[in-house]
Amino acid sequence: MIVREVNTPDLEKLFLQVHVDCNRDDPRFIRPLDQDILAVFDPGKNKTFRFGEVKRWILFDEAEAAVGRIAAFTNRKYKNKGDTVRVGGIGFFDCRNDTRYADRLFQTAQDWLAEQGMEAMDGPINFGERDMWWGLLVEGFDSAVYGMNYNPPYYQKLFEDFGFRVFYNQICWALPMANEKAQLQKKFYDQHDKFAADPDFQARHIKKQEEAKFAHDFCAVYNKAWAKHGGNKNIEEKQALKIYHAMRPVMDENLVWFVYHRSVPIAMWISMPDINQVIRHLDGKLDLWGKLKFAYYRWRGEINRMVGFVFGVVPEFQGTGVDYFMIVEAERGIKVKGRYTDVELQWQGDFNPKIINISLNLGAIQKRRLVTYRYLFDENMIFQRHPTIV
């Protein structure tokens, strides 16, 4: 076996192809856009390079066939609650079903991370934000939503045979979209009617031209509901504008909802169309032809799944039922369009029982489980799971 560092354009192309080859026989696999993967490793596009560095490798067998790949990275900003060791990351792992290959890849990453002063490695994670390419799929092998990892089931054994242990579980939820066959629970509508009768409360979706309002309202809710919760920091309006501009090309304004109390934003639910339902037709390419195909399949109504990735209520209104009011208002607005039949809520860590309980109270059911693993380089160290957020 030979391990080669990815340091040429040809090897970079092969790095992408290994992922396709390892999933080729699975009809549920959707090839990610090449540009999305390459952007992770581009210092001009990924700000995380300001805080760390990355190495990528491809593994070749005795016949010089590419049989696996892995990336390893350091990030001075990466720290989980309770961490007392220096932790690096691995990601973009793919491998044939052979422990010899997997062990060689994991060991290559460990050796490099140890040289950088790391004492442990988490994976598979992203060299960047946690909203993309984070976690190993272990339950719910349905086609992935946009930005989510997908892998064969045998990867779990490859990780655990090497010695990786579950650091935390990432739960993804499905929420029923009310129609003639499925309705939300009665308590949703009871709470909705209570708030709808009170003129102090209003629920509305953002319009595309209201970018400044989106930025203001997003920060108002986020900084109260999430800042300093689990290590999060306040977000500024200029950062929220960047989020908005990233969303805008595929945004459906009927999926971005806020609740206001006397004109002050107090809750938000932000969802996006699952563009992976169109990306599945593009074979990883978003060139001119790919863009034309994207527009065509979207026009045909190919997208019927929406993905909720931000849900928050400011502390003083948590537990009041205002979230039910928002859900029913959003549901009614979405039903008018008649486009979406499935709703998926992005992953929530099992270390955060409060957010898990919100999903359960919304009537959501578990659809997938991904895992973030941790491997300690010193076997004498005491392993601890991610602490619970209280």
Domain boundary pick from 325, 340, 355 = 340
Q: What is the pLDDT of residue 186?
A: 83
Are residues 11 and 58 in contact, defined by beta-carbon separation less than 8 angstroms?
yes
DSSP annotation of 52 reads: -
> Is 287 part of any domain?
yes
> Is 48 part of any domain?
yes
The structural domain count of the chain equals 2
Return the CATH number at 203. 3.40.630.30
Are residues 2 and 60 in contact, defined by beta-carbon separation less than 8 angstroms?
yes
Rounded distance between C-alpha atoms, residue 349 and residue 146, angstroms? 19
> Is 17 part of any domain?
yes
What are the backbone dihedrals phi and psi of residue 50, each rounded to the nearest 5 degrees, phi first?
A: -70, -20
Domain boundary pick from 340, 360, 384 = 340
SS3 269: strand
Rounded distance between C-alpha atoms, residue 180 and residue 184, angstroms? 11
> Is 10 part of any domain?
yes
Rounded distance between C-alpha atoms, residue 315 and residue 229, angstroms? 11
Q: Based on the domain organization, do 260 and 323 belong to the same domain? A: yes
Q: Based on the domain organization, do 161 and 188 belong to the same domain? A: no
Q: Based on the domain organization, do 271 and 122 belong to the same domain? A: no
Rounded distance between C-alpha atoms, residue 289 and residue 36, angstroms? 17
> Is 47 part of any domain?
yes
Rounded distance between C-alpha atoms, residue 253 and residue 127, angstroms? 30
Q: What is the pLDDT of residue 146?
A: 94
Q: Based on the domain organization, do 162 and 204 belong to the same domain? A: no
Q: Based on the domain organization, do 59 and 128 belong to the same domain? A: yes
* Tens of pLDDT, residue by residue, the chain (390 residues): 899 999 999 999 999 999 999 999 999 999 999 999 999 999 999 999 999 999 999 999 989 999 999 999 999 999 998 899 999 999 999 999 999 999 999 999 999 999 999 999 999 999 998 989 999 999 999 999 999 999 999 999 999 999 999 999 999 999 766 555 556 778 888 999 999 999 999 999 999 899 999 999 999 999 988 755 545 567 889 988 988 988 888 899 889 999 999 999 999 999 999 999 999 999 999 999 999 999 998 888 889 889 988 888 998 998 899 988 998 898 887 776 668 888 898 899 999 888 888 788 777 899 999 999 999 999 999 999 999 987
pTM: 0.89
Q: Based on the domain organization, do 58 and 114 belong to the same domain? A: yes
Q: Based on the domain organization, do 117 and 183 belong to the same domain? A: no
Query: Which own/partner contact pairs does 329-334 have at CB distance under 8 Å and 24+ positions apart?
Result: 329/192, 329/196, 329/203, 329/204, 329/257, 329/259, 330/203, 330/205, 330/254, 330/255, 330/257, 330/269, 331/177, 331/178, 331/184, 333/205, 333/254, 333/257, 334/177, 334/254, 334/255, 334/306
Q: Which domain holds residue 23?
A: 2-167+372-376
Q: Based on the domain organization, do 334 and 253 belong to the same domain? A: yes
